[in-house]
Each structure stands twice: as C-alpha cells, then as structure tokens.
Chains A and B, each alone.
Chain A
Amino acid sequence: MSAVDAAAETVEALGESGYKYGFVTDIESDTAPKGLDEEIVRFISAKKGDPEWLLDWRLKAYRLWERQQDEEPRWARVSYPPIDYQDAYYYSAPKSVDRPKSLEEVDPELLATYEKLGIPLHEQEMLAGVAVDAVFDSVSVATTFKGELEKAGVLFCSISEAVEKYPELVRRYLGSVVPYSDNFYATLNSAVFTDGSFVYVPEGVRCPMELSTYFRINAANTGQFERTLIVADKGSYVSYLEGCTAPMRDEHQLHAAVVELVALDDAEIKYSTVQNWYPGDEEGRGGIYNFVTKRGACRGSRSRISWTQVETGSAITWKYPSCILQGDHSVGEFYSIAITNNRQQADTGTKMLHVGRDTRSTIVSKGISAGRAQSTYRGLVRMQGKAESARNFTQCDSLLIGDKCGAHTVPYIEVRNRSAKVEHEATTSKISDDQMDYCRQRGMSAEEAVALIVNGFCKEVLQELPMEFAVEAQKLVGLSLEGSVG
C-alpha cells in the first residue's frame, strides 16, 4: 500500500468514528479550499495520517505564523508585490484550471529548451505540467535500486512514509536543525508541508549510489512545501541530488521548502541542487518564487556537510544553505552558481556558524547576472567564542553581462574567538569584448562564446557536482544565458 492510500484509509477511519476536531471540510475531497487557517492545517494533517505529535507541531507552527503576518522577511534585495497567502491552495491545488492540455499549449521557448537538453517527449510533458499521467517504463530499474539500498540498510522514502514507518527517527530529528519557529517561510512550511524525502544512513554505511539516480527515475517528487530530512549516522556517507536541469513549470507560484541535514561523528553528507524552476517570461511574469530554508548540522566530531547548488531558475530566489559546525573538527562547504537573466532576482548565499574547535568552512560563490537581473550574495561567517582555531575561506565572484544588470555582495563576518581566522576575497568582472572577439574569431557564435566563458568562470563549482550531473549543468549554464548577448 502506498503512503497516499494508507493516509486516505486512516482518514476514512477517522471519518467513521466521528472526527474529533469537528472537521468542516469535506474529507472525501482531494482539495482543501483556498486560504489557510487551523482547519486547513488539520485537514492536511488528517490527509497525511499524521500522528498526534506531528499535528501538534504543525498547529504550533501555524499559530506562530498567524501571529507573524507582519514579519515576512523584507531584508533581501528582491522586490515583488505582496503575496496574498489566503488566495492560495495549500493542499492539492486544481490540476486542470491553468494546466496546458498538450505540449502545443506550452510556451514554445520552454519546448525549445527541452529540445536542446535532449529531454524525451513524455518527460517534457511531465515537466511542463501537461495534464497527462506520466508513465515511466523504469519501474524495474527503480526496484533494483530499492533492493540495493535495502541491502545496505539505507532508508529512503517520502517524508510521509517515514512518519508512518520510522516515527521515532522522524520525531527525533524533524525540526531539530530548522525549528518551526525559524523564519516566516520555514514556519509556514512546518504547518503545511505535504511532500519531500527522508533519508537515514545507518552507522558506518557508505550509501552505495548517488541518491539522485533513484530520485530522478521516480519522477516529479516536488511540491509546493517540500520537507526533506537527511540523517547520516556515525561514520556514514551519502550524496543526495535534488532537482533537474530541465526548466520545470508549476502551478504554484510560491515554493517554500525546508531541508534539514544531520551529520553525526565522522559522517559526511554531500547535497547537490540544480534548480531550474520556470523563471517567467522575459518580463518575469509567471515565474516561481523560491523561498527555501536549507540547513545542515555537523553535530558530530569530524563530520562534514557540503552544499553545492546551481541556481538558474525561478523569478525570485531566496536561499541560504547553511552549516552549523558544532562538532570539533567538523567541515562545512558551500559551492554556488547563481545565474540570473532577464528580470530574475536572486538573493542567495550561506551561513557558516562555527561552534566547535578546529572547525573549517569554505565558501565559493559565483554570481552571474545578465539582462535586467539582480543577483546578491549574502553570507554570514560567525566564529563563536569556543570556536578555537576555526578557519573560514570565502571567495565571492560576480560576473556581469551587459550594462543593465546588477551584482551585489553582502558578507557578514562575526568573530568572537581570537584564534579564529577568516578570509574573504571578492571580485566583480564583466565579459570583455576582447574575450568575445577572441572566441568568435575562432569560429564560435556569440552564444557559444558566452557559454564557454561563463562555464570557465564557474569551473570550481561545477567540478563539485556529481559527474553525471556536471555535464548537464554545463549545458544548462549556456542555455540560461541565451539571448543575453548580440
């Protein structure tokens, strides 16, 4: 029985016994009405078959969020009209209203991009959100992977399934890195999350595969309020990859995901993201708002968490994958490429919080702006009082294409330990006419030249990606900047 069926069954059982919370929404319906209130949170919780502790947690989050209505973050260098949170669906939005019926109704530019990325037709339909059931002929492959993971003892499933099957693990770690009270969007996510992944790697186990492979075969595991939890027990290793190089459309404009990572003694988590949500048209209309909270806790000694991200999509990106370096000798890394074109806005960076002694962190950020886009690196490096001999190195490079875009760097550095060492390097450059002419004189088109030069600029980050993905990401870098020159 799938998690969804199980949840539905639980819900039915509750319905028969007379639902104790005095439910008003039709439980048979797959859709909660527009807007958000306590009833909706209860509806979602019931649909997911949550245990009571989780419902309580959601409600606490919701009540806090309700009181915080004036506290939506405003400090980021992005601008957008106020979001009416009551004018959105929080559970199973209508799948038909705005959905294209076939690929013929999809933005031709989007299709051209799929074409260039070499994406098969049925996947194109799925990515573009066409109202068909995506059927994959890869079930057997997926099963093989699942078997291999089971053999290694790695738990990997949807977060809902995990709540049901491994409640102690989820309860112990959920919200332990990003508490429900963390920030406006994380609070909202805690109240209404419905989807996401759960990974647990037992002590001493090296996860036998990139979890991306499995993930991608299992298709669109994306939702508006995703919640992902990855726990690497002592001495274990896991590499997880989320996202897709192909631009994804979604009916929901607002995405507020939360990702929590926990690494115990000597454990290592490598988390890679390729984010290419629909950025909107050239004027930015219809693009996704991606407001994400990602944080990893290096709880154990000598643990290591590495974030690598390639952010090319979304109209607005608000995202700061961070590391709390609690364990002595633990290591945090952040490698980022943020590409903004046309009207896109990105305010992204990281936080490295050094708590333990001899902790180390590395930040390499590459921001590329073209068109009328604005790209901001915002990063905090904090050496706490006990972070004896801690070290950080930050390198922050911005590349501008054209003269109507902007790049901004906002580093925050707080040092409370005399033996700690922090280095920050930053550069801002433009693609020069000389570079363009040099490439073109060798026969490359202007677009090829830009792609080549930008890939060179991003090289240090691209090489951090898992091999299979690095090649696709390189292509994506070029495609994201099409139309930015000439």
Chain B
Amino acid sequence: MLEIRDLHVRVDEREVLKGIDLTIARGEVHAVMGPNGSGKSTLAYALAGRDGYEVTGGTVRYRGADLLALSIEERAREGLFLAFQYPVEIPGVAGTTFLRAAVNARRRHRGERELDAMQFVKFVRGKQAELNIPDDMLKRPVNVGFSGGEKKRNEVFQMALLEPTFAVLDETDSGLDIDALKMVANGVNALREPARSMLVITHYQRLLDYIVPDRVHVLAHGRIVKSGGRELALELEREGYGALTAAEAA
C-alpha cells in the first residue's frame, strides 16, 4: 500500500525528517509515536503534500505509483485522507456544502456521476447514525464554534464519507476527554477493513488502547528509532521516550 524509503523533508530551511523508512501493507494499521518536535506532524503533512514541506530526498510509493509526483488534491482523489490535528474553520460554508464538494470531487475523479443535494442527503444519512453526528453539525459552518471533540468527530465523519484507501490520523486524540476519545476510536475502528490502511500518529499510548495497531514505530529527531508490535507502546508508557531518544542521541 505505502512504501516510504529514506524520506528527507525540510521545513523552513531546517531538515526535520532525516531518512524515514516505513512500509504499510494493505489493511494494516500502524502507529507512529514520539515526543513533541520529533517530526510526527511533518510526516503527516509531507505525505498529504502540503506546501512548505519540501521533500529533499527519498521516495514514497503509494499503490505502486510515485506519491510525491502528485499535488495535494490529486493525492486526496487517489484515496489519501488526512485527519487534521487542528481542523480548519471555514466561515459561512455549511458542513453539507463542504462535504458534497469533497465527495463530488472524488466521484468526478473516478468517472462517477456527481450527487445532487437530495442524493447527497440520502448518502450522508446512513453514515451520520454510525458516528452520532447530529443534523445540526452539518448545517453549521465547517468547524466554526465546534468543541474539540466535535472537530475530531467531524474529521472521522469526513473520513467515513470519503472512504479513503489510506488514512493518516494526526493526533486525533489530542485534547479529547475519555468519552470523546472512545467515540472517535469507535468511529475509526468501524472503518478498519482489509482494503484500507491507516497511519495513526499520537503522542500518548492511551489512544492505542482503543485503536489497536498492527505495528508501532517510535519517531525521534526525524528518524524511526524503534519499531515493534503493540507491546512497544506499553513499554513506552512505562519507561517514557527518554531512554529511547537518549540512546539515539548517544
């Protein structure tokens, strides 16, 4: 599904990722953990293709093609989804309007007929129930005045609608209380399926109690310093990042 080889990324003249290697197979869920400033979000943005995240070396192959050759929207249309750490407010644009534009952009790309307003409402109804998204949330302007929990739930809801092949969740747990965290995790788990892979970025192991990953990677100083199974997350929780990152620095 996704194959990252020796990826170097520069932000504001500073090298943040210094050679990442990571392979995620079809249907797998990988977690990337690491202390603040280790480069977790940079990895997410570089994969999504945001401006300002300059790839200075390495390759990323996505479903056999060169991901880095595509623009941010082309990557999205090819099924790459990023759940933003800080979902962006778009004043005056109703949730449904935004979502319909997004869904139709993808449908156009796949050569499918666009959904009109009525068809879209039907399409959304089913998914709404699954994630407990009230109508009101879709009528309000995108993310404007949303609580932290609502914003994150809205990200997962978008993911459900857009049915990505590969999803990156960037600190989707940050700022959530335990109930909100469970709700978001349930939403994500419901989307796990053999044809869909995920990269879950998080600072805390807590999230991984609910979204159980196939593999865990520890990112420090722009490199993956350790990879392992689920137990690695628990080990980190016990011993902290200190031991690992110190070992790397030494």
Minimal Cβ-Cβ distance residue in B for A458: B92
In the complex, are the beta carbons of B101 and A459 less than 8 A apart?
A: no
In the complex, are the beta carbons of B162 and A442 less than 8 A apart?
A: yes
In the complex, are the beta carbons of A441 and B92 less than 8 A apart?
A: no
Question: Per-residue CB proximity of B39-59 to A under 8 Å, as 1/0?
Answer: 000000000101110000000
For the complex, what is the distance from the CA of A295 to the CA of B74, rounded to whole Å? Answer: 49
For the complex, what is the distance from the CA of A444 to the CA of B106, rounded to whole Å? Answer: 8
Q: List 23 A-B contacts (CB under 8 A).
A: A432-B88, A435-B89, A437-B51, A437-B72, A439-B90, A439-B102, A440-B73, A441-B73, A441-B76, A441-B84, A443-B76, A443-B77, A443-B109, A444-B102, A445-B105, A446-B73, A448-B101, A452-B93, A453-B90, A455-B92, A456-B90, A457-B92, A458-B92
Determine how close the nearest CB of chain B comes to the CB of A397; give it in whole angstroms: 10
In the complex, are the beta carbons of B98 and A452 less than 8 A apart?
A: yes
Chain A residues with Cβ under 8 A from B109's Cβ? 443
Interface residues of A (CB under 8 A from B): 432-435, 437-446, 448, 452-453, 455-460
Minimal Cβ-Cβ distance residue in A for B80: A441
Chain B residues with Cβ under 8 A from A443's Cβ? 73, 76-77, 102, 105-106, 109, 162
In the complex, are the beta carbons of B48 and A452 less than 8 A apart?
A: no
CB contact list, B95-144 vs A, under 8 A:
97-98, 101-102, 105-106, 109, 141
In the complex, are the beta carbons of B105 and A441 less than 8 A apart?
A: no
Count how many pairs of residues, one from A and one from B, have CB atoms less than 8 Å apart in the complex.
78
For the complex, what is the distance from the CA of A437 to the CA of B41, rounded to whole Å? Answer: 15
Q: Is the interface of A mostly helix, strand, loop or mixed?
A: helix
Determine how close the nearest CB of chain A comes to the CB of B183; give it in whole angstroms: 22
In the complex, are the beta carbons of A459 and B105 less than 8 A apart?
A: no
- Asked if B27 is at the interface of the complex by the 8 Å CB criterion, the answer is no
Determine how close the nearest CB of chain A comes to the CB of B189; give it in whole angstroms: 22
For the complex, what is the distance from the CA of A82 to the CA of B101, rounded to whole Å? Answer: 46
In the complex, are the beta carbons of A442 and B84 less than 8 A apart?
A: no
Chain A residues with Cβ under 8 A from B73's Cβ? 440-441, 443-446
- Asked if B181 is at the interface of the complex by the 8 Å CB criterion, the answer is no
For the complex, what is the distance from the CA of A94 to the CA of B226, rounded to whole Å? Answer: 81
Determine how close the nearest CB of chain B comes to the CB of A445; give it in whole angstroms: 6
Chain B residues with Cβ under 8 A from A459's Cβ? 92-93
- Asked if B82 is at the interface of the complex by the 8 Å CB criterion, the answer is yes
- Asked if B197 is at the interface of the complex by the 8 Å CB criterion, the answer is no
Chain A residues with Cβ under 8 A from B81's Cβ? 441
Chain B residues with Cβ under 8 A from A445's Cβ? 73, 105
Determine how close the nearest CB of chain B comes to the CB of A448; give it in whole angstroms: 6
In the complex, are the beta carbons of B105 and A438 less than 8 A apart?
A: no
For the complex, what is the distance from the CA of A442 to the CA of B96, rounded to whole Å? Answer: 13
In the complex, are the beta carbons of A442 and B90 less than 8 A apart?
A: no
- A456 interface neighbour in B71, B82, B93, B102, Cβ under 8 Å: B93
- Asked if B148 is at the interface of the complex by the 8 Å CB criterion, the answer is no
Determine how close the nearest CB of chain B comes to the CB of A427; give it in whole angstroms: 10
For the complex, what is the distance from the CA of A32 to the CA of B220, rounded to whole Å? Answer: 82
Determine how close the nearest CB of chain A comes to the CB of B98; give it in whole angstroms: 7
In the complex, are the beta carbons of B158 and A442 less than 8 A apart?
A: yes
Starting from the known contacts A437-B48, A442-B162, 13 additional A-B residue pairs (CB-CB under 8 Å) come to A438-B88, A441-B48, A441-B50, A441-B73, A441-B82, A442-B76, A445-B73, A445-B105, A448-B101, A452-B90, A453-B90, A453-B93, A459-B93
- B102 interface neighbour in A433, A442, A453, A460, Cβ under 8 Å: A442
